[in-house]
């Protein structure tokens, strides 16, 4: 049986990297006495997979992991058992049993939504909403991506599905988060600042992932994003 666990990560825990979060949840599952399924072989391990790694320093209300279990009393009981062994800064928000044919979380990720706010005060940009509209109205948003082997020129516009101002003092964006086309919200913000002619250091911004989505559209032109937690 597979279950999908949605959790939040915030406060000082935002500085804990992906590999350490994996180890944290492996220990938490044992402490919570979850009847987890282990792999076979000489070095058995819990069958667990995370949806999309979260950058260090980013908070989230929409993280997911899949876990294979041998048995469970109820989704609510598993959620409560896990939350009893969580630390301050990590909270299990929901537990859902997955259909047998469901893809794992990592293979399902298509997009993610983010909120960017100044840690202190408001963005030093007059007419934030209007400038965001102008930025997104560009036909192309070129970006240079450097890898270990090459330098690639990308068009960020293809992977930005929504962007706009939120309450006048925050930026909301929905971007590609798939393994093949992942776009970092901080990169989009850097390109926007260059477009708007302002300088805002990355250290002054708090980024929060709000939700992670899969795409029900398949090969269709129009995306149909739904949260990973909607398992039906």
CA gap 13, 9 in Å, rounded: 6
Distance CA(159)–CA(175), nearest Å, equals: 6
Number of H helices, E strands in the chain: 5, 11
E strand or H helix that includes residue 191? helix 185-196
Query: Is the Cβ–Cβ distance between 216 and 224 less than 8 Å?
Result: yes
Residue 231's pLDDT is what? 65
Alpha helices in 32-138 (DSSP H): 75-83, 105-108, 128-136
So where are the chain's domains?
2-107, 109-227
Query: How many of the other CB atoms lie within 10 Å of CB of 20?
Result: 12
- Whole-number Å distance between alpha carbons of 186 and 139: 20
Predicted confidence (pLDDT) per residue in 86-106, tens digit: 999 999 999 999 988 888 889
Helix, strand, coil percentages (3-state) for the chain, rounded to 5, are 25, 35, 40
CATH architecture for the domain at 2-107: 2-Layer Sandwich (3.30)
Per-residue pLDDT of the chain (232 residues; tens, 9 = 90+): 999 999 999 999 999 999 999 999 999 999 999 999 999 888 888 999 999 999 999 999 999 999 999 999 999 999 999 999 999 999 999 999 998 888 888 989 999 999 999 988 888 888 899 999 999 999 999 988 777 777 888 899 999 999 999 887 899 999 999 988 899 999 999 999 999 998 888 889 999 999 999 998 866 668 899 999 886 5
Its pTM stands at 0.92
């Amino acid at each position: 049986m597979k279950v999908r666990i949605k959790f939040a990560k915030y406060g000082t825990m935002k500085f804990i990297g992906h590999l350490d979060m994996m180890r944290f949840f492996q220990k938490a599952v044992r402490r919570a006495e979850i009847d987890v399924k282990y792999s076979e072989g000489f070095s058995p391990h819990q069958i667990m997979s995370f949806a999309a790694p979260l950058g260090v320093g980013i908070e989230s209300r929409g993280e997911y992991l899949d876990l294979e279990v041998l048995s469970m009393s109820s989704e609510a009981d598993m959620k409560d058992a896990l939350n009893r062994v969580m630390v301050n800064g990590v909270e299990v928000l929901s537990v859902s049993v997955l259909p047998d044919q469901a893809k794992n979380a990592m293979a399902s990720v298509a997009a993610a939504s983010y909120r960017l706010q100044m840690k202190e005060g408001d963005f030093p940009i007059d007419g934030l909403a209007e400038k965001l509209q102008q930025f997104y109205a560009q036909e192309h948003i070129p970006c240079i991506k450097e890898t270990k082997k090459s330098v690639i020129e990308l068009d960020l516009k293809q992977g930005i599905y929504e962007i706009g101002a939120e309450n006048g003092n925050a930026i909301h964006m929905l971007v590609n988060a798939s393994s093949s086309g992942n776009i970092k919200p901080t990169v989009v913000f850097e390109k926007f600042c260059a477009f708007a002619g302002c300088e805002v250091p990355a250290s002054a911004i708090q980024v929060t992932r709000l939700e992670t989505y899969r795409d029900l559209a398949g090969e269709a032109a129009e995306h149909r994003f739904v949260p990973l937690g909607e398992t039906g």
